[in-house]
């Protein structure tokens, strides 16, 4: 989904740059509420994992591929505002160092993969968490549904941007059908990876999953009395 | 699992994904570039201004072996994201006023 330079014209790229900057500014404030001494290292870890996972393109159908975007995954693991910053750091390093995604397209890429996937992924996750049983085991399923929807949503927003500022005269109806079709398939991969990773963290350290926190039972002190007669407990 | 062990395992997994597994990734164009080719806006793409970066295209310039070149670029990228992201999040975190009573091993 990394948009190269040249696909969108300068005004559209400038507009998405402003949207991205505003999103990051709000996220810088929101992140303070999400992270503390225990979870700040987790956010750094999630950013590096998303970077690594984005290197793994998996084949989708004939001749094309997709990779994890990670917006929904990061939002569930460390919170939506921290997730926006995770993806922004990843996209910045990719654009500046790896030439993956254009420089004038950096705002577009942060908007699509940093803002749209996080917003759609997190909103869907919260709704699903409410619908499903309020147990930590529901968290990976809700995360997978959010991840699945986040990918075609980003594809749809790209097509919208292209309809405004696309730099080539092409049939937009063909673009929207192809973008949604392929990215629905890629969304299945996004859902699988997201569900698997969230399930693994839930299984080992559920307290480190931001999206699971409302569901974790508050540990209550329990008074255990010694069994009066060992014979009866055997 | 202690927190320390969890983080060690996660960092190791991340490095293995970026440094080893990435070699086996599909080299087909991603969904967007494939659609661009299909519908005819592929040629609008321009080379990035950073196309001459020593790590451009997830390959390390000057390293002959494609496997090693990709592994080094992947690990370097992970390190950069870890430094920038880690520093940013550590700076932004909410300082806990209460004394930590949970113990360091937790």
Rounded Cα distance between A96 and A102, Å, is: 9
In chain A, whose CA is at the least distance from the CA of B74? A52
Three-class DSSP category at B63: coil
Q: Which long-range contacts (CB under 8 A, 24 or more apart) does A122-131 make?
A: A122/A72, A122/A75, A122/A76, A122/A80, A122/A83, A122/A146, A124/A72, A124/A149, A124/A150, A125/A72, A125/A75, A125/A76, A125/A211, A126/A211, A129/A211, A129/A214, A129/A215
* Residues A43, B36: C-beta atoms closer than 8 Å: no
Tens of pLDDT, residue by residue over A3-56, are: 999 999 999 999 999 999 999 999 999 999 999 999 999 999 999 999 999 999
Q: Is A94 on the interface with B (CB under 8 A)?
A: yes
Which stretches of A64-221 are assigned E, i.e. beta strand?
A: 64-66
In chain A, whose CA is at the least distance from the CA of B54? A97
What average pLDDT does the segment B6-29 reach?
96
Q: Out of A49, A56, A205, whose CB is closest to B25? A: A56
Q: Is A7 on the interface with B (CB under 8 A)?
A: yes
What average pLDDT does the segment A203-228 reach?
82
Tens of pLDDT, residue by residue over A86-144, are: 999 999 999 999 999 999 999 999 999 999 999 999 999 999 999 997 788 899 999 99
Q: Name which of A58-62, A102-106, A220-224, B63-67 the model is least confident about.
A: A220-224
Q: Answer yes or no: is pLDDT of A219 > 80.
A: no
Residues 6+ apart with CB under 8 A from A234: none
What average pLDDT does the segment B29-33 reach?
94
* Residues in B touching A35 (Cβ below 8 Å): 89, 92-94
* Residues B96, A36: C-beta atoms closer than 8 Å: yes
In chain B, whose CA is at the least distance from the CA of A41? B86
* Residues B17, A52: C-beta atoms closer than 8 Å: yes
Residue A101 region, left (φ>0) first, then alpha (ψ -120 to 50), else beta?
left
Q: Out of B18, B35, B47, whose CB is closest to A178? A: B35
Would you tell me which residues 107-126 of chain A have a C-beta closer than 8 angstroms to some C-beta of chain B?
none
* Residues A32, B94: C-beta atoms closer than 8 Å: yes
Structural domains of chain A sorted by starting position, each given as residue range(s) with its CATH number in brackets: 10-215 (1.10.1760.20)
To probe the interface with B, which of A26, A91, A97 has the most B CB atoms within 10 Å? A97
* Residues B85, A101: C-beta atoms closer than 8 Å: no
A5 bridge partner residues: B46
A58 bridge partner residues: A66
* Residues A186, B31: C-beta atoms closer than 8 Å: yes
To probe the interface with A, which of B9, B71, B92, B100 has the most A CB atoms within 10 Å? B92
pTM of the shown model? 0.91
In Å, how far is B22's CA from the nearest CA of chain A?
A: 5
What average pLDDT does the segment B27-47 reach?
94
A61: pLDDT confidence band, cut at 50, 70 and 90? confident
């Amino acid at each position: 989904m990394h948009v190269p330079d040249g696909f969108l014209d300068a005004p559209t790229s400038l507009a998405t740059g402003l949207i991205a900057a505003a999103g990051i500014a709000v996220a810088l404030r929101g992140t303070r509420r999400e992270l503390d001494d225990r979870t700040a290292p987790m956010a750094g870890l999630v950013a590096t994992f998303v970077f690594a996972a984005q290197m793994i393109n998996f084949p989708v159908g004939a001749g094309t591929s997709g990779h994890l975007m990670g917006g929904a995954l990061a939002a569930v693991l460390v919170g939506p505002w921290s997730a926006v910053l995770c993806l922004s750091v990843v996209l910045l390093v990719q654009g500046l160092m790896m030439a993956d995604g254009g420089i004038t397209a950096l705002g577009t890429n942060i908007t699509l993969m940093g803002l749209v996937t996080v917003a759609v992924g997190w909103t869907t996750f919260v709704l699903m968490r409410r619908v499903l049983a309020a147990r930590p085991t529901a968290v990976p399923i809700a995360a997978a549904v959010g991840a699945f929807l986040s990918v075609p949503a980003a594809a749809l927003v790209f097509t919208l941007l292209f309809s405004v500022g696309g730099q080539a005269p092409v049939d937009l109806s063909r673009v929207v059908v192809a973008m949604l079709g392929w990215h629905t398939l890629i969304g299945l991969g996004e859902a699988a990876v997201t569900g698997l990773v969230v399930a693994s963290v839930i299984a080992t350290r559920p307290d480190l999953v931001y999206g699971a926190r409302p569901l974790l039972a508050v540990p209550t002190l329990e008074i255990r009395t010694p069994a009066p007669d060992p014979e009866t407990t055997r | 699992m202690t927190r320390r062990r969890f983080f060690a395992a996660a960092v190791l997994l991340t490095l293995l994904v970026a440094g080893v597994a990435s070699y086996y990734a599909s080299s087909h164009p991603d969904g967007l570039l494939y659609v661009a080719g299909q519908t005819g806006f592929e040629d609008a793409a321009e080379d990035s201004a950073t196309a001459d970066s020593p790590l451009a295209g997830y390959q390390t310039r000057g390293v002959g072996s494609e496997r090693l070149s990709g592994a080094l670029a992947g690990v370097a990228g992970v390190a950069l994201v870890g430094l920038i992201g880690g520093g940013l999040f550590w700076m932004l975190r909410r300082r806990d006023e209460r004394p930590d009573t949970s113990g360091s091993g937790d």
